[in-house]
């Protein structure tokens, strides 16, 4: 009888575990996310060209608890893509308890360069202005993106007001305390030298389209290139780039890494062996994202 009672109790214990405690980590996180996260879609952060330019906020919990926040900027060569069709890129950051701001910007078909740079700088100012409302920890802001979004993450995090790209922002979006700064930049295969893609062996149609036939094209390409702004005091920057990238040459990442080293800026270059512009093996994506999180932990943005 005692053995039967003990076996029954053990069976009940296993049943409880099976039904209450054995969700896989991904299923566990997604269940928490849908029950605790809040999505605020299509918030207007500026008006340009007679329309609203928008962003989405995904808040990971109660705004009374400030959280590290990533400002994500989608890729697409400045000519395509949208915040909606890149939304899955933000899932790893949400899984680490970060808030997310997913940014729309004007593409080349609507406004040529430097409109995209201006928009993303204004989005960063909006984040500062609305930090208390959404629980953004402005001391732990990360700006991240891939391809053209990697370029824009670099310009958003590296530029200051003196560069002249903040003048299109709404007056009421000026930061309440100090300049808009970020704690780290995450650049996946982003363009660092725009002029390199306009002419010569690395010429890309999307870059030509973005600059158009503006008379000051060469000077503008220099002004919107992250390499132009490398200097001491920039945010820690992690660069992820495939060494067989034929769209944005691997040397764009290498040159940025070397320039940041010379300036004494904390940075890391993560090379994807055999990696093209995208479409890497799953293991390489996992390795790259782990490197990003480790980098953010090392620089005080995330905790283990």
User: Which tokens in the block code for residue 32?
Assistant: 């928490």
CA distance 70 to 185: 9
Q: What is the length of the chain?
A: 304
Q: What is the pLDDT of residue 259?
A: 98
Over 80: is that where the pLDDT of 293 sits? yes
Architecture of domain 24-193+222-298: 3-Layer(aba) Sandwich (3.40)
Residues 95-110 have pLDDT tens digits of: 999 999 999 999 999 9
Over 90: is that where the pLDDT of 20 sits? no
Q: What is the mean pLDDT of the chain?
A: 92
Sheet strands side by side (includes 136-146): 38-48, 51-59, 99-103, 67-73, 136-146, 184-188, 237-242, 267-272
Note the pTM of the prediction, 2 decimals: 0.91
How large is the average pLDDT for residues 254-265?
98
pLDDT bracket for residue 18 (50, 70, 90): very low
Q: What is the pLDDT of residue 178?
A: 53
Judge whether 74 and 201 are in contact, CB under 8 Å: no
Q: What is the pLDDT of residue 173?
A: 65
Residues 32-42 have pLDDT tens digits of: 888 999 999 99
Q: Which residues are CB-contacts of 194 (< 8 A; sequence separation ≥ 6)?
A: 113, 151, 207, 211, 221, 222, 224, 225
Q: What percent of the chain has pLDDT over 70?
A: 91
Residues 49-108 have pLDDT tens digits of: 999 999 999 999 999 999 999 999 999 999 999 999 999 999 999 999 999 999 999 999
Which helix (H) or strand (E) segment holds residue 156: the answer is helix 148-158
Residue spans per domain, the chain: 24-193+222-298
């Amino acid at each position: 009888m005692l053995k039967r009672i003990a076996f029954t109790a053990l069976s009940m214990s296993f049943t409880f575990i099976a039904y209450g405690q054995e969700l896989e980590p991904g299923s566990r996180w997604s269940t928490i996310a849908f029950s605790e996260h809040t999505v605020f879609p299509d918030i207007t952060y500026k008006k340009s060209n007679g329309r609203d330019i928008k962003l989405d906020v995904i808040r990971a919990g109660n705004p009374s608890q400030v959280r590290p926040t990533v400002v994500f900027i989608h890729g697409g060569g400045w000519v395509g893509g949208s915040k909606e069709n890149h939304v899955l890129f933000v899932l790893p950051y949400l899984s680490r308890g970060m808030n997310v701001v997913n940014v729309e910007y004007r593409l080349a078909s609507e406004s040529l360069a430097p409109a995209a740079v201006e928009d993303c700088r204004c989005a960063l100012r909006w984040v500062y202005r609305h930090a208390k409302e959404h629980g953004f920890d402005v001391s732990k802001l990360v700006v991240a993106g891939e391809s053209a979004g990697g370029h824009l993450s670099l310009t958003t995090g590296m530029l200051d007001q003196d560069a002249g790209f903040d003048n299109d922002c709404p007056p009421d979006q000026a930061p309440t305390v100090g300049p808009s700064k970020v704690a780290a930049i995450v650049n996946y295969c982003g363009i660092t030298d725009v002029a390199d893609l306009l002419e010569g062996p690395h010429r890309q149609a999307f870059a030509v389209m973005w600059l158009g036939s503006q008379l000051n094209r060469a000077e503008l390409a220099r002004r919107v290139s992250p390499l132009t702004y490398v200097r001491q005091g920039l945010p820690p920057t992690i660069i992820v780039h495939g060494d067989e990238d034929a769209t944005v040459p691997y040397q764009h990442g290498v040159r940025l890494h070397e320039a940041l080293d010379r300036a004494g800026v904390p940075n890391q270059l993560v090379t994807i062996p055999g990696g093209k512009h995208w479409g890497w093996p799953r293991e390489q994506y996992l390795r790259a994202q782990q490197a990003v999180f480790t980098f953010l932990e090392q620089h005080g943005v995330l905790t283990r």
